Chains A and B, each alone.
Chain A
């Protein structure tokens, strides 16, 4: 059976938050929460900032409209830092990356992961990474809401 999920390239995520807003725009209609977020960490070992995207499938199935197209967060990523597809199908772009064997789930993830990461993750960040259910979802904000 197909196992749909994300592969995220940490060497490409530039922290622009386009994925999060694309998710908002494609989920608010259903009165849904936003199921994407990008966290920012300092690596004291490497003295640099790193951005780690968290995605819906770490907690639940996608809520955006999924047809033939990749999800809005994937097709609107300016640095092509993520793909979505069948992780177990070597013919699928996502499965192809999985087959290389470098992709790994977040250390904080428990069973049956559906989001895998490639690219450099500084050692000291690994221990800081929260569980997906602690940072997702970003709560629903109505279209007409005015910030405080």
Chain B
């Protein structure tokens, strides 16, 4: 009897084990390879940081089995949301095919059916051409929500198509702060984490523990080395609790007054940097006069911050130099005085001479010659052409300062108005969620009233997609290679670690495919996204293929890091000393704001709705409502579909101080109503010292629980300069449901 050896993969018989072994090695090498674990690397898109964090991915049999932090990578470690992207990758409800609605948009049930990519592309392209024919290319809105990776591609398509109306969710986050900084410095300067030279860290309206956890090692490190921390935050956040030597808790929406109060102390006591102020700022005398009214006592009355703390914080930041600033880019801008609030805080950096000194608030000397993906590289997005098309921007009459300074994107927040006025007829939306806006029903209505709307997403989200015509499935961060990223002068790239889910495609590929079908073959490199990225990278003299994974590649700088670059002519394009502003100085007095009739100084303005501006309303609604603040397990409206995260926070809450809860007979977990002049919602109560008495913090982003949607409580009132909504300063009352 002869023993036979059966191949487990093809049932062929062999006489010896050795021959079978050779057969498997030669005929089935692919199977053997795939059964082994392999390691890949990608960027995380679970939140909205730019540049992105890094993920190390373990793959077996073509499936991702485990994740870890990308080692020796600048933004590290990963956070809870980053780890949960594994569950997102294999979520049974992910979109896998293009969908087309089969009912008119006037009907609530869209009855989507599966279509081919060919049909989807042809429909979209013919609609784009039709709209361009009928109303001009500017009637098509191009919009990117989250993540930010696809922005440059979408923006380029908008320009090539002839529409300056490209907008993003930065209409509600970051861009107003960046605009404020551009008005003052001519540069985007919003502070940075401490370095080893930093002696004082001013953290204003941000809680990196839950929004940028990868900054925590630097902060704890600075603390251990003896740096002093001033944390300014209405809430007692973990960062305030663990790091602050001084914690100031202003009433929401009065950070402008607090900054002016600190300036009052610094100027009255002559603690400011005279050399810097005299040589490099514009408008100091007017400021000096204006802040006289903001004595610590007066500011205590406005902000609820004890005057001795205002004095102590001002003295510390002005004298214990160098000091750096880490400022919240959305907290401080979610009021009706957004731009001026940030300008007031940045003025503190200028007055104290903390700009561009080692350990202070710095800008890189030799940044790589391309701009980050959230704004898009100017050459790639063809910014010059956008500026030429400025007159066709839908926001130019509403927000002229934004339209002048913010070349790369429009202010989208007045979408209902743009549609009602017949200016926008079609929209192409990537990762869009219309319920991010206050009174979001008006935005749903706007989508409904457009002639054609396309959405690209990972999941079907009815609160947005019920109002669109075509939904396309997007490939995730594990399935795409676009784009590359960089930290300082080090560039990182990735490769897809698994194949796209069903028929999902990468955002960049969708844009390039549409472009080619519209006839922009040359402008979009024949549809080859890699060539598109190489077009950006060539400015640094490299190509995608030359950058190793996971190590990345450093492009050596032309010289050493310099400080006080304004003295050396390193900040202006013309090489002259000074700042790239109209006066060449740091504009405390903004000549651009002056030109458009706004107050040129960083003035205090009471929020539109507050106990001081509406005392009668405050009788009825005595609590101040803030919303939009970060939680550790979600980013805004994202990832409620992941049970690993829902396990940690199953439903939306109102955070309420024990004192306020007791007064109202509210216990932990009670269902309560949060009501104000704009609406009424029902959420669970969470009793916590996170918020001070008099302030409640309501979870946002819970569109799947309609009766809990906090944006029903936010009015459509906007900062006049930037158009930012007032998510963080309205009045309300809370009572048991």
Contact = CB atoms under 8 A, between A and B. Distances in A.
Contacts of A78: 77, 79, 209, 213-214, 216-217
- 10 closest Cβ pairs, A-B complex: A14-B209, A14-B238, A78-B213, A21-B83, A147-B646, A21-B80, A76-B77, A78-B216, A147-B643, A17-B80
Contacts of B210: 14-16
Nearest to B644: A24
Contacts of A48: 236, 241, 689
Contacts of A51: 238
Interface of B: 65-69, 77-81, 83-84, 86-87, 90-93, 209-210, 213-214, 216-217, 220, 236, 238-239, 241-242, 632-633, 640-648, 650, 658, 687-690
Given A11-B242, A78-B213, A143-B90, A47 B78 contact: no
Contact of B80 (A11, A18, A72): A18
A78 B642 CA distance: 22
A12 B221 CA distance: 12
Interface string A45-68: 001110100000000000000000
B688 A42 contact: yes
Contact of A49 (B90, B640, B690): B690
Given A44-B658, A78-B214, A15 B632 contact: yes
Residue of A25, A43, A48 contacting most chain B CB atoms (<10 Å): A25
Given A18-B80, A25-B66, A80 B236 contact: no
Contact of B220 (A24, A44, A80): A80
Contact of B91 (A22, A47, A75, A146): A146
Given A16-B79, A42-B689, A147-B641, A49 B241 contact: yes
Contacts of B92: 144, 146
A17 B645 CA distance: 10
Given A26-B66, A42-B688, A14 B80 contact: no
Residue of A29, A40, A42, A49 contacting most chain B CB atoms (<10 Å): A49
A76 B647 CA distance: 20
Contact of A20 (B90, B209, B648): B648
B644 A21 contact: yes
Interface in A24-40: 24-26, 29, 40
Nearest to B78: A76
A72 to B, nearest CB: 7
Contacts of B217: 78-80
Contacts of B241: 48-49
Given A25-B86, A75-B69, A146-B641, A17 B648 contact: yes
B83 A18 contact: yes
Contacts of A80: 217, 220
Nearest to B633: A17
Given A72-B68, A76-B77, A141 B689 contact: no
A121 B654 CA distance: 26
28 contacts: A12-B220, A14-B209, A14-B210, A14-B238, A15-B210, A16-B238, A16-B632, A17-B633, A20-B648, A21-B644, A24-B83, A24-B84, A25-B83, A29-B65, A42-B688, A44-B658, A48-B241, A48-B689, A49-B236, A49-B688, A78-B79, A78-B213, A79-B216, A79-B217, A79-B242, A143-B86, A145-B643, A147-B643
B642 A147 contact: yes
Nearest to B90: A143
Contact of A18 (B90, B213, B642, B643): B213
Interface in A74-106: 75-80
A79 B241 CA distance: 14
B689 A14 contact: no
A77 B236 contact: no
B86 A16 contact: no
Contacts of B77: 18, 75-78
Contacts of B84: 21, 24
A21 B69 CA distance: 12
A123 interface: no
B209 A141 contact: no
A21 to B, nearest CB: 4
A144 B650 CA distance: 17
A90 B217 CA distance: 25
Nearest to B69: A76
B545 to A, nearest CB: 31
Contact of B242 (A14, A24, A29): A14
Given A15-B632, A20-B80, A79-B242, 12 more contacts: A14-B213, A15-B238, A16-B209, A16-B238, A25-B83, A25-B86, A47-B689, A51-B238, A78-B209, A78-B213, A138-B647, A146-B643
Contacts of A42: 658, 687-689
A13 B664 CA distance: 32
A146 B213 CA distance: 27
A25 B658 CA distance: 35
A141 B93 CA distance: 17
Nearest to B691: A49
A98 to B, nearest CB: 21
A87 to B, nearest CB: 23
Contacts of B690: 49
Contacts of A14: 209-210, 213, 216, 238-239, 242
A18 B212 CA distance: 12
Residue of A12, A78, A144, A147 contacting most chain B CB atoms (<10 Å): A78
B425 to A, nearest CB: 37
B68 A12 contact: no
A11 B83 CA distance: 24
Nearest to B77: A76
A138 B69 CA distance: 23
Contacts of A16: 79-80, 209-210, 213, 238, 632
A77 B213 CA distance: 9
A24 B93 CA distance: 21
A72 B55 CA distance: 13
Nearest to B240: A48
A76 B80 CA distance: 10
B642 A22 contact: no
A113 to B, nearest CB: 25
B67 A25 contact: yes
Contacts of B644: 21, 24, 141
A55 B730 CA distance: 41
A20 B648 CA distance: 9
Nearest to A42: B689
B485 to A, nearest CB: 20
A108 to B, nearest CB: 20
A144 B643 CA distance: 9
Contacts of B90: 143-144
Contact of B83 (A22, A29, A40, A138): A22
Contacts of A144: 90-92
A106 B83 CA distance: 28
A125 B80 CA distance: 26
A15 B213 CA distance: 11
Contacts of B83: 18, 21-22, 24-25, 76
A21 B46 CA distance: 13
A48 to B, nearest CB: 5
A21 B632 CA distance: 11
Contacts of A21: 79-81, 83-84, 644-645
Nearest to B239: A14
Contacts of B213: 14, 16, 18, 78-79
Interface string A117-148: 00000000000000000000010010111110
Nearest to A141: B643
Contacts of B69: 75-76
Contact of A143 (B68, B79, B87, B216): B87
